Homo-oligomer: A and B are copies of this chain.
Amino acid sequence: MKFESGFGVLGGDARQIAMAESIASDGYAVTAFGFDNVDFLGKIKKADLKDTVKSCENIILPLPVTRDGVHLKMDYSNEKIVLNDAFAKLFYKKRVFGGGMEHLSQTSTLWQTFDTHDYSLREEFAVKNAVPTAEGAIEIAIREFPGTLNGSHCLVTGFGRIGKVLSWMLRGIGANVTVSARKLPDLAWIKSCGYSAVLTQQAGEGKYDLVFNTVPAFVFSRSVLMEMKGCPLMIDLASLPGGIDLTAAKEKGICVIQALALPGKIAPKAAGEIIKDTIYHMLKEGQRLEFE
């Protein structure tokens, strides 16, 4: 299936560069704004904001669209684009894709009536990003842990998307993996995959060399940390404020690494292609709906 018109890429980070290049290599016209000193591979036209939007039916905003709630995220430009009614007006009759679009909506009421799509809310987007996240966690663990992961005792808290991929990879390089979860079916899944299973409330009871937290809740409170055996290296993958009491950890001499936004850091090309694939899927579904 082919899409009838080009793509405009507005701002972002290394993922958007990879995404733009990947879209161009699929044969689509790509216009980009917000990448002042970037030398794109492949045929990508640079233009100013207005021309970029005007010339393309599909506009792709970054993930997140904005960090401060005021300006468009543009890591590769010194220009500052303010998100307001004037900005929003440009996108009248356009198909707009972005990540974390709820923050954009707050910058202008116009967005309510526009054709916007949040690729970061799609399930397949989240599943695919679990892969570079897990690899990033493993990269940190190999680099920072003075032993080898092979043969080590690892705890992964949570059996959601990241927990599933990460525990699978850790076993795949020969770690002894324990996974914590709250629900009985999850505990059954965990055991069937060759891991040990513990209830989340017992996550602090075992003795581990490494702990990977994926649960966005305060699993490792002061009391849990204080009763924990040994001094594992802890890698917190949960979004801020994370699941570990940093003050208590420091007191006990436990090293905690907060690892966020790993896909963009560790695998920008993969992360860019995940965004691209998700947008393609959304476009295809849209086309199908039109014809039904």
A124 to B18, CA, bound (A): 42
Contacts of A150 in B (CB 8 A): 131, 134-135, 169, 192, 194
A185 within 8 A of B: yes
Contact partner, A147, options B151, B184, B270, Cβ 8 Å:
B270
A interface SS class = helix
Count how many chain A residues have C-beta atoms less than 8 Å from C-beta atoms of the other chain: 47
CB <8 Å contact, A138 and B184: no
The answer to whether A59 has its CB under 8 Å from any CB of chain B is: no
Binds B, one of A46-54, A210-218, A221-229, A261-269: A261-269
Assess the B185–A174 pair: CB atoms within 8 A: no
* Alpha-carbon distance A128/B135, docked complex (angstroms): 23
Q: Which residues of B contact A281 (CB under 8 A)?
A: 184
Inter-chain contact B168/A193, CB cutoff 8 Å: yes
Do A135 and B124 touch (CB < 8 A)?
no
- Report the minimum CB–CB distance from A154 to chain B (whole Å): 12
Per-residue interface assignment for chain A, residues 264 to 286, with 1 indicating a CB less than 8 Å from any chain B CB and 0 otherwise = 00111110010000000100000
Q: A149 contacts which chain B residues (CB < 8 A)? A: 135
Mask of A179-196 contacts with B, CB within 8 angstroms, 1/0 = 000001101110111100
A189 CB to nearest chain B CB (Å): 6
A128's partner among B18, B174, B188, B194 (CB-CB below 8 A) is B188
Interface centre among A130, A151, A267 (most CB of B within 10 A): A267
Q: Pick the 7 closest A-B CB pairs, nearest first.
A: A172-B172, A146-B269, A139-B142, A124-B184, A127-B188, A123-B185, A174-B194
